[in-house]
Chain A
């Protein structure tokens, strides 16, 4: 089950990948490699079956080439993958790998690990996150996000900040579509009390969070100070609907970010996320908690 992308094992920082559905190609390539290895085929065997070479298979498996649906179908058949649900899921990935996403329009403000994270986010079926410091970005009001960006990028031109806010709004809109993925957030009480902008900004932010709790596909659990439970920095844990495509953990760092998909890492963070959600308050009490905090500002 080792996914073993040499380019992004634990501890490796992502370089500056090209904008585009790189990640989708990586996920798809990785699954093809697993299936090939499980079937005992060599790259040369597989290459021959799709009228190519072993290096073509190698490029596909590392996400460095494009995919043709016919090639993927032939490979799946060769590897003995007959499960219609999984085949369909992988064909959907092929389609997505060949479709330039709207994220590419934001290449000017998006590069490196952040670009990878957003691409993954667009493919995820469930986004789990833990936020000890600030309100999760997908749930921020524009005012709150603007105040935070002003603090985090002090030298940024107003035009760049507006551009970043535009990108955030697009991501938030994507989360509101009917077929959107689910968002499951554990937010520390500190994150809900910290004021990146004015008191009024925070009050409006908490009001927006209360409204969001009405949405069935978004769940917010508060980790109150009284539990004494914390887990270091922010964690984003992405789940993909396709069977066999592993979960991915994304961690922001001061200098870059970590993007983990090795089973041992994902396992570790998965257990941390499980523990956090079982120790946090139930989603149902979130509105009352937020309302109380809002009155204390």
Chain B
């Protein structure tokens, strides 16, 4: 993609403007935007995304499967579980069918809090992810490493006496093993009321090609991402009633009848599920 590297150098005035935005290091939200066919990504992200796909071609189908699982999970939570409030951590750049759009299409009164700590993601989300008049869409600027800040921010918008679905979609890998990823999820679920749900999906170590691709990615200067085993993913749901069919490869989680799969099943390396807090 050498042809769309910026052909211009920045003027002094522009350098001042651009201070603090790093366009030389790939950025996970922008890479996902690229994989999902979005237009909010820079050359460095496309290069990193292409390099990843070269080492692990399954990632394109995986990215689509991730969004499809999110859509099926939200549909289950609104229509079958009757949840009307969502706490979605790791918003990402706006794409087609964002959490609040899926939820509010099914029930316009749904209340959604998006959480991210990236200024670019937050700016795009605040401008473009807008609520139905009946519902609420709001944003909390916080880091997953600080669950109490997330919960305190969300408590100003959501009703913590009614069930809330916590959405952790492709985000837990940002927490290193020694930072206690399982403790963070427990902390978040602890403060949600009984009847709340956890929806979580994340990449696993099942595919060696994916693990290899990620190793290169983690050396690119981007914020590193950590894969976990399917058993470790399942442990996020400890203490919860896991909804059928359990914590499984996401394409096999209640697939829509007749829907075309996002890719061959063998490529799907992401595991996920839904659990209910009693």
Interface residues, chain A, with chain B CB atoms under 8 Å away: 1-2, 126, 182, 184, 216-217, 219, 221, 229-232, 239, 243, 246-247, 263-264, 267-268, 270-272, 274-279, 282-284
Contact = CB atoms under 8 A, between A and B. Distances in A.
Contacts of B13: 230-232
B120 A278 contact: yes
Contacts, number: 73
Interface stretch (B122-130, B209-217, B222-230, B232-240): B122-130
Interface SS, A side: mixed
Interface residues of B, number: 29
Nearest to A277: B123
A239 B39 contact: yes
7 contacts: A1-B3, A229-B17, A243-B37, A276-B17, A277-B123, A278-B123, A283-B126
Nearest to B18: A275
Given A2-B3, A264-B7, A267-B4, A184 B127 contact: yes
Contact of B133 (A216, A231, A275): A216
B119 interface: yes
A231 B15 CA distance: 10
B127 A283 contact: yes
B17 A263 contact: no
Contacts of B259: none
B23 interface: yes
B1 interface: yes
A271 B1 contact: no
B187 to A, nearest CB: 28
B42 A277 contact: no
B39 A271 contact: no
Interface in B116-165: 119-120, 123-124, 126-128, 130-131, 133
A276 B8 CA distance: 19
A271 B123 CA distance: 13
B123 A264 contact: no
Given A1-B3, A232-B13, A239-B39, A216 B131 contact: yes
